[in-house]
Structures are given as C-alpha cells and as structure tokens.
A and B are shown apart, each in its own frame.
Chain A
Amino acid sequence: MRSLNGRLLIAASVVLVAFLSLTGFTLDRAFRDSASSAVRDRLQAQLYMLLGAADLDAFNRLSLPQSLPEARFSTPDSGLYADVMDNQGNLVWRSPSLLGLALPFFPAVRNPGDTQFAPLESSNDTPLFVLAFTVSWETAPNQYRLYTFRVAETQWNFRDQLWSFRRSLWGWLLASTGVLLAVQGAILRWSLKPLRQVAAEVTDIEAGRRTELSGSYPEELQPLTVNLNALLRHAHAHLDRYRNALGDLAHSLKTPLAVLRGALENSAPDEELRHTLSEQVERMNRTVDYQLQRAAASGRIALSAPLPVAPVARKILDSLAKVYASRAPQLQCEVTASTVFYGDEGDLMEILGNLADNACKWCHRQVVVRAHPAAHGDRMELVVEVEDDGPGIPAEQAPLLLGRGQRADPTVAGHGIGLAVVRDLVEEIYYGRLDISRGALGGALVRARLRFQANGG
C-alpha cells in the first residue's frame, strides 16, 4: 500500500463498516427481543382474560362461555387461538378459531403456576407463539385439578414488524455508511492537499519556476518545508559562493599576470625579471590558497546535528602542541562539554585552527581557547575566543588584517591568509562577526560570533 490516501481510506472504511454492522446487529437483536416480549405480554393478557371467563359446569368440569370478550377467539382462522388441557393431556376446551387446526403438543403439563412461552408451529405448519400457563383449580372444597391454558398467536404480524424494522434499519445504516465514507474521502483529500502542494512546488523548483516553498503550510509540515527551504537556500548560497570564488580567483590572478606580461614586454634585466617573477608567483600562490580555503568551507548549517566543540578544540590544540613543540606554548582549552556548534566540523576546525595557529605564532608563552553559547534575539550564538599573551594587534591594523572592504588578495604579512579566511567563514557563511581586541593576557583577543537559528535548524 504505497499511497497514504489509500491507507487511510481503507483503514477508516474497515473500521466504519465494522462499527456500523455491529450497531445494526445490536439494534436488530434489541428490536426482536422487545417485539417478542410485547407478543408475550399480549398473550399473557389474553390468558388472564380466559382464566377470568372459565368456570366449572354442572359436572364439575372446567368450561368456557360461547362468546368470549375477544372476538378473534370465536372467528375461525383469526390468528389467535386457545385451548385448555387437563393433567392427562386431554383437551378440555378449544377456541372456535382453532377450527380444523390443532396447537402443537406443547408444553407438557407442569407444576401449577408455571408459564412457558415458545415459538412453535401449528398442525398446518403456521408459525405460532405459544404461551402456556398451568393452574390448579379447586373443583370441590379441598379438591384440586391441574389445567393448562394455552394461548397462541401466529407470527405473521411479528414477522411483518421485524422485516419492516430491518428494512428501514439497514437502509439507513447503508445510507449513512455511504455518506460517512464520502465525507471521510473528502476530509482526506482536503487534509492531504498540502502534501500534493509540496510535491507540485518541488516540481516547480526543479523546473526553475520558483526558488523556494511557500510559507503557508500546516504546522505538521512546517518543519519539513522550513528545513527544505533552508537546504535550498544553502545550496543556492553554496553555488553563489563557488561562482563568486571563481570570479574572484580569475579576477585576482589577472593583476599578477598583467604585471608579468608587462615585465616580459619591457625586456627588463634578468635580475629584475627574476625578482618580479618570484614576487608575482608568491602573490598568485597566496590568492589560490585563499580562494581554495574559502571554497572548501561548506557552511552546512541547515539540518546539521549539534557538534560538541570541546573535542574539536582539543584536537586542534593537540595538533598545535605537536607543531609548536620546540616553543612549548601553554595551550589552554576553556570549553564546557555542553557547548555545541551547528555546522560542518571542517568549518569549525578551520576557524579554530587558523585562530589558534595565529595565536601560537605570536604568543609569548600562553594561548587560551574559549567557547560558550550565548543568546542573540531568537537565535543562538556560539562565541569562540582565542587569546594569546603576545604583542597584540594594534587597533588600526585590525580592519586591514580582517580584509574588510576587500574581497581577495589579502597579503598582510605574518597573519597570512588565516584571519581573512576565518572572517569569510564567520561573516559570510555563519552570519556572525569577527572582532579583534586586546585581551586580559595582554595580547590579541580574536572573538568570533557564529549564529544559528534557535532550533539549530
């Protein structure tokens, strides 16, 4: 079963049909019981009437008058019959309506006061309800005889009632089943409409007719569409970044190439040519390095699982401890275990690695790496700080080092391309901010604020 619509429809229909059939059977049963007890009550009343009319005749035998209050006992084949048996089973009296018929031999004479009721068939196979009642009749003082009074009625009336009830009952049930199924189908179509809409919009996105999903979705679908949109935006940003990087790269290689061509055309002396060549090659190398690192940044913010910062910081510091083993700087990591980063591990390594590497280069003895979460409006921030006890960075040099206002070819000696790469990562990919200031240890304090949505998505 591959369609949600189909699944829901089948499941709901099965439940509905089962429920309605059960209801039908229960109602049918209840009606039948109440109709048959009505018949019994009626027969009981007739029986009491007969008892009231019965009397002893001259020979001390039980007899009933010719005309009974109930005319149907006197009309042959009227559908209402009665007879009286003595305790030997001999018929003492039978109603005129029983002309040519006999009530079935039921029930056997029992104890006085017993009542029995049963559906039975007459001698000509007419279905009947029979009610029997045994009485003890005082024929003489202290002389009692047992008589069984029996009253019977045909079932035709009862069956007609039952069938007409059943017809209307099942008719209504079927009709309501149909209506409910139709309503349910309509509800399903209506409820699943957003899913069809998503599919249609995704098709539109594929075809390039729209760039992202519209925002008006039910809240159950919101996480899906919001994340899908984030993914789409991320893919777009990625593409844009590649495009920009390629443009920047081509652009920034043009200048050294022009310088080289100029040097060739001027037929400068060998020494000068060599100098220009090495200078421009170095410049091109830096540019390529920088653009490569920028392009490598993945910025996988959308849909990333929280990544604990402490192990990454630990790895970076362990690596730097090895690289700077001869200077043996004191590397301190102040990151709590619960601090997390929503993004790509490679990006975090790049940020921490470059900052800590610079700090190690410039530090006197001590480097501290800190990271802690902070709230920024409805978004979460991860604040990463790297501090050293080196000479520090003069305030007027900071913007230069961060390469603000220039996109490529950051050729500041010493800090290399590291800071510029970190700035790009922090500000362009994680929508944060990179600041340089003077720390408590006296050296440079570089602080990166990385921003995520509150749910981390």
Chain B
Amino acid sequence: MRILIIEDEAPLLQRVSTQLREQGYAVDTAADGRTGLYLGQEYPLDAAVVDLGLPDLSGIEIIRRWRAAGRPFPILILTARGRWQDKVEGLEAGADDYLVKPFYLEELLARLRALIRRTGGWSQAVLACGPIALDTGAQQVTLAGQPVELTAYEYKLLEYLMLRAGTVISKTELTEHLYQEDEDRDSNVLEVLVGRLRRKLDPDRTLNPIETLRGRGYRLRLERA
C-alpha cells in the first residue's frame, strides 16, 4: 500500500511515516503543500494523509486540485482545530475522513486501513475470499481457520490482491504500490514472492487462489465471502 503524507510539522511527519513503514506501507512524504500536490498528482497512491494547516498551499486546495484532476485515492485530513466548519469544508472538498490533532497513531492506522478497505469495496476489517481470511487489524492470515505464517512482503502482496479480489493487477502496479521508491524493483522478485505465497496458501495445489494471466498480471480468483 502506497501512502502519501503531507505534514509541515517535521517531528510529527517523522513519527507517522516511521510508524507506517513499520506497518509495511510504502510511504511518500512531503513537508509542504506544493511538493505534496505534485506527488499526489504523479504517484500511484492508495491513500493520502493531508494536514489542513500548511504554510504555502492549504490542504483543502490540494484536495480540490487532486479531485479536479480525477485522482481517486482516499484522503484522510488532519486538523488542529476541531471545528465542524473545517471538517465539513475538508470533506466537501473531497476528503473521506478526518482526524483531529493530537491523535493516537493506532487511530490513524485504523482509519487508513478502513479507508483503503472501503476503496476495494470491503466494509469489514477481516477480508475473506474462499477459505482465506485476512485480518487487516491484526495483520494475520488464516487458511480454513488455521493461521498461516507470512513474511511482511508476502502479507503486503496478499493484502493488495485480496483488496482488489477479482480484478487483474499488472506487475507494474504491484511493484509501484508495494515497494518503497528506493527499494529493488526487480520483477523476478515479485514472481518469486507470488510463488512462495501460492505454496503457503495452497500446499496441496487444489485451491489455485492466484491465477497468472500471461502478459497482463495476476488475479485473486476466489469469490469474496
């Protein structure tokens, strides 16, 4: 999951981005509005966290411009003033949720997860496709009720595939959304990762949860529960 954070307060930006990276998100950061606006327009984001009180360009303005340019990702706004007028203005501009400062990081994470789930069409915290269930809160995966041990990258890959279960996802899209900018983006790594995931989720090769569509990408083919 690729997330952009625009926040002019350096310690807060640092803290939030570190926390999100630890949670397995690919994080882009911007300390001012103009950079943030540019990143949001250029990068394939899964969600954005925007502080409303930026020095150069207001958060509301950034959100308006993104929406005007047709950027679809969910946006969470951060506001220091808890006034409803500000919240309503932000949500009207195109944001999807708000958080009043100061906030707990767990709260931010939960809201982000919910927003990303909602974009994929899931309303519950546990994503279930066939016998596979992925708990986005606890970051745990079970196969027919039995816990499956996954590495961080395997989890990220499965989460992305399950969120968009039923749609074809290209390798480029996967690398863009799963990897940090400065990480190795060899597509062979992705193939190896998919292979390992298949072995763990389908040890006796009867389920075939992830299908490969030659030249187009991957698709999680199990029905959503």
Contacts and interface: CB of A to CB of B under 8 A. Distances in A.
Interface in B58-98: 81-85, 87-88, 91-92, 95-98
A36 to B, nearest CB: 86
Nearest to A351: B84
B114 interface: yes
A285 B81 contact: no
Contacts of A293: 82-83
Nearest to B122: A326
A349 interface: yes
B97 A322 contact: yes
Interface in B103-152: 114, 117-118, 123
A323 B91 CA distance: 9
Given A285-B102, A296-B83, A323-B97, A318 B92 contact: yes
B92 A326 contact: no
A292 B81 contact: yes
Nearest to A325: B118
Contact-residue bracket for chain B: 10 to 19
A353 B97 CA distance: 14
A322 B91 contact: yes
B114 A349 contact: no
B118 A326 contact: yes
A86 interface: no
Contacts of A148: none
Interface in A83-122: none
Contact-residue bracket for chain A: 20 to 34
A327 B117 CA distance: 13
A327 B114 CA distance: 11
A325 B95 CA distance: 13
A350 interface: yes
Contacts of A322: 91, 95-97
A interface secondary structure, majority: helix
B114 A316 contact: no
Contacts of A323: 91, 96-98
Highest count of chain B CB atoms <10 Å: which of A323, A328, A345: A323
A134 interface: no
A287 interface: no
B97 A346 contact: no
B76 to A, nearest CB: 10
Contacts of A328: 123
A354 B84 contact: yes
B88 A349 contact: yes
Given A325-B96, A326-B123, A318 B82 contact: no
A61 interface: no
Contact of A349 (B81, B84, B95): B84
Nearest to B124: A326
A424 to B, nearest CB: 14
Given A319-B91, A326-B118, A326-B123, A345 B96 contact: no
Contacts of B81: 292, 296
Given A316-B88, A346-B84, A350-B83, 15 more contacts: A292-B82, A293-B83, A296-B83, A316-B84, A319-B87, A319-B91, A323-B91, A323-B97, A327-B123, A328-B123, A345-B85, A346-B85, A350-B85, A353-B84, A353-B88
